[in-house]
Amino acid sequence: MTVKQFPKGFLWGGATAANQFEGAWNEGGRGPATSDTAVAVKPEDRKNIEDFSAPMTREKIEFALNDKEGLYPKRWGSDFYHRYQEDIALYAEMGFKTFRLSIAWSRIFPNGDDAQPNEEGLQFYDNVFDACAKYGIEPLVTLSHYETPIGIALNYGGWKNRQVIDLFVKYAETVLTRYKDKVKYWLTFNEINIMGISGYVGGALVSEDGTQSLSEMYQAVHHQFIASSLATKFAHEINPGIKVGMMLARMQSYPATPNPADVMEEIKKDHENLFFSDVQVRGKYPAYTKRFFKENNIEVTFEEGDLDILAQYPVDFMSFSYYMSSIARHNPEEGGESTAGNFLLGESNPYLAASDWGWQIDPIGLRVTLNNLYDRYEVPLFIVENGLGALDQVEEDGSIHDTYRIDYLKAHIEQMYEAIEDGVELMGYTSWGCTDLVSASTSEMSKRYGFVYVDADDEGNGSFDRSRKDSFFWYKEVIETNGANVLNE
Ligand code: BG6
């Protein structure tokens, strides 16, 4: 009998982001970032994340920066800044081939537009990458993961301002130059489509009158497309071995019924999601843009040469997060219950179970999406986020029996294998929040994804000490056997 396994060289690992993991928001010369103004959501409001997408005003930002009462958990994260040696050693123990992290832009350029980079910030990431190298772990680095320097919001209004392209390119060139021989895999913008949900989280957009137009959001994302292409160009010039990817929050959707009107609705929903990868992978705005922009009164200014830049410097691979699927229905009044999701609310699918936070669990949807994306783009794919946010229980002896997490991951890994068998080229898999970290949407600590537990609560109380959950030992075996323990049960 042949043993089923993942392809040789498959990049198993885990994923994090500076704003949710590092902490030390005002240490080492780091400037404040947009993530530092995020207030913790109370457990009773978990499913209501309207605030997350509300337009951000200057007053709200200034209030948060001066507030002495509110809880801003992303400022302390999980204290990776001081514990990176121990964290990376734990990843090595699990056998990680890769570790996804982001660079906090405001650690390098504290105000976003400083003349010179902050050497202490640069040195910190040198130390992190050296620690990875010690164990043969390949870093996978996101340049921008919801953590734009606050100066870019306050002094430029965010990414709707074209000047921000130059500021980002300067930052990207600085870190690419510094780490060109230490980091092979780069992602430009985390979940670039988040812009359509929160202009502030995705693009540091500041609203003068409390409103946010779609034109501003798409203008901002156009600037990010250009900035991403210019960073890709530079990366290839400085080291042709570097691979740059785009990153999409993938929302696989299904027609609610076989009614052709629902099928067409699903195509439209898919276009809204795939617009971003269509531009970044294919290097051009897709044909459906014209109608979409017209019907939604979206006006975007293109400068001469923009389309050439997009065409000349597309990404090398596509990465994405996958947590759930959604439903498309032409007439929402005929629909059923709604469900929560990462930043999106949708109609709930009666065939699927949901997590404690109401995110519907759909492993087969991952195979569907891998097939769809590979059929569409034929570039290597990388799953850089997937996982289960859950409440963990620490037993008296300190153990944590997170079988629900193991079941979730196992089911998704099985479907990844099927997709590879279908012919999909999949580079790797980095499970989200490999060490517990602060949630992006609700800023809670109690929503845990990790293999490694962090002793901290929602208010930031605790020792922040690390411990191994049952999933830690299970994932170690997954990597050791290259998936064989899951696939040959
Ligand atoms: C993704 C983000 O959308 O989902 C991460 O890239 C985030 O930053 C993850 O943490 C899970 O979402 P949440 O809200 O459960 O932390």
- Residue 38 maps to a domain: yes
pLDDT at 186: 99
194 in contact with ligand 1, CB cutoff 6 A:
no
pLDDT at 478: 98
Q: Of 323, 441, 443, which is best to mutate to test ligand 1, by the most ligand atoms within 8 angstroms of its C-beta?
A: 441
Q: From CA 199, how far away is CA 297, in angstroms rounded? A: 17
Q: What is the DSSP string of 240-273?
A: TT-EEEEEEE--EEEESSS-HHHHHHHHHHHHHH
Percentage, residues of the chain above pLDDT 90: 90
How confident is the model over 126-141, as pLDDT tens digits?
999 999 999 999 999 9
Q: Are 199 and 55 in contact (CB under 8 A)?
A: yes
- Residue 323 maps to a domain: yes
342 in contact with ligand 1, CB cutoff 6 A:
yes
41 in contact with ligand 1, CB cutoff 6 A:
no
Q: State which amino acid sits at residue 53.
A: S
Average pLDDT over residues 217-233: 98
Interior CA angle at 36 toward 69 and 103, to 5°? Answer: 155
Q: Are 452 and 474 in contact (CB under 8 A)?
A: no
Burial class (CB in 10 A: 0-12, 13-18, 19+), 26: exposed
- Ligand 1, atom 15: nearest CA belongs to which residue? 439
Q: Are 250 and 366 in contact (CB under 8 A)?
A: no
Checking 267-272 for CB contacts under 8 A at 24+ apart, the result is 268/328, 269/326, 269/328, 272/196
Other beta carbons within 10 Å of 42: 12
Closest Cα to residue 144, out of 169, 122, 163, 124?
169
Q: From CA 305, how far away is CA 51, in angstroms rounded? A: 37
Average pLDDT over residues 36-45: 86
Burial class (CB in 10 A: 0-12, 13-18, 19+), 39: middle
User: What predicted TM-score, i.e. pTM, was given to this entire model?
Assistant: 0.97
How confident is the model over 262-281, as pLDDT tens digits?
999 999 999 999 999 999 99
- Domains in the chain: how many in total? 1
Q: Write out the residue range of the structural domain in which residue 457 sits.
A: 11-487
Give the strand pairing for 353-354 and 346-347: unpaired
User: What's the sign of the alpha-carbon dihedral 284, 290, 293, 296?
Assistant: negative
Strands (E) located in 117-200 = 138-144, 185-189
Known catalytic membership, residue 191: yes
Distance in Å, CA 342 to ligand 1 centroid: 7
439 in contact with ligand 1, CB cutoff 6 A:
yes
Known catalytic membership, residue 385: yes
Q: Of 21, 201, 342, which is best to mutate to test ligand 1, by the most ligand atoms within 8 angstroms of its C-beta?
A: 342
Structure tokens, 324: 């759930």
Q: Are 299 and 223 in contact (CB under 8 A)?
A: no
Catalytic residue among 22, 191, 414, 444: 191
- Ligand 1, atom 4: nearest CA belongs to which residue? 342
Catalytic residue among 138, 216, 385, 444: 385
441 in contact with ligand 1, CB cutoff 6 A:
yes
pLDDT at 374: 98
Q: Of 324, 385, 445, which is best to mutate to test ligand 1, by the most ligand atoms within 8 angstroms of its C-beta?
A: 385
- Residue 4 maps to a domain: no
Distance in Å, CA 432 to ligand 1 centroid: 8
Structure tokens, 47: 């499913």
- Residue 3 maps to a domain: no
- Residue 1 maps to a domain: no
pLDDT at 47: 61
**Which ligand 1 atom is the nearest neighbour of the CA of 17?**
8
Mean pLDDT score across all residues of the chain: 95
User: Does the pLDDT value for residue 159 go beyond 90?
Assistant: yes
- Ligand 1, atom 5: nearest CA belongs to which residue? 440
Q: What b/e readout covers 228-239, taking b as 16+ CB neighbours within 10 angstroms?
A: bbbbbebbbeee
- Residue 432 maps to a domain: yes
Distance in Å, CA 249 to ligand 1 centroid: 9
- In 3-state terms, what secondary structure has residue 460? coil
440 in contact with ligand 1, CB cutoff 6 A:
yes
191 in contact with ligand 1, CB cutoff 6 A:
yes
CATH number of residue 199's parent domain: 3.20.20.80
249 in contact with ligand 1, CB cutoff 6 A:
yes
Structure tokens, 381: 């794919």
Average pLDDT over residues 443-452: 96
321 in contact with ligand 1, CB cutoff 6 A:
yes
Other beta carbons within 10 Å of 62: 13
- Residue 74 maps to a domain: yes
Percentage, residues of the chain above pLDDT 70: 97
pLDDT band at 342 (very low <50, low <70, confident <90, very high): low
User: Does the pLDDT value for residue 425 go beyond 60?
Assistant: yes
- Residue 6 maps to a domain: no
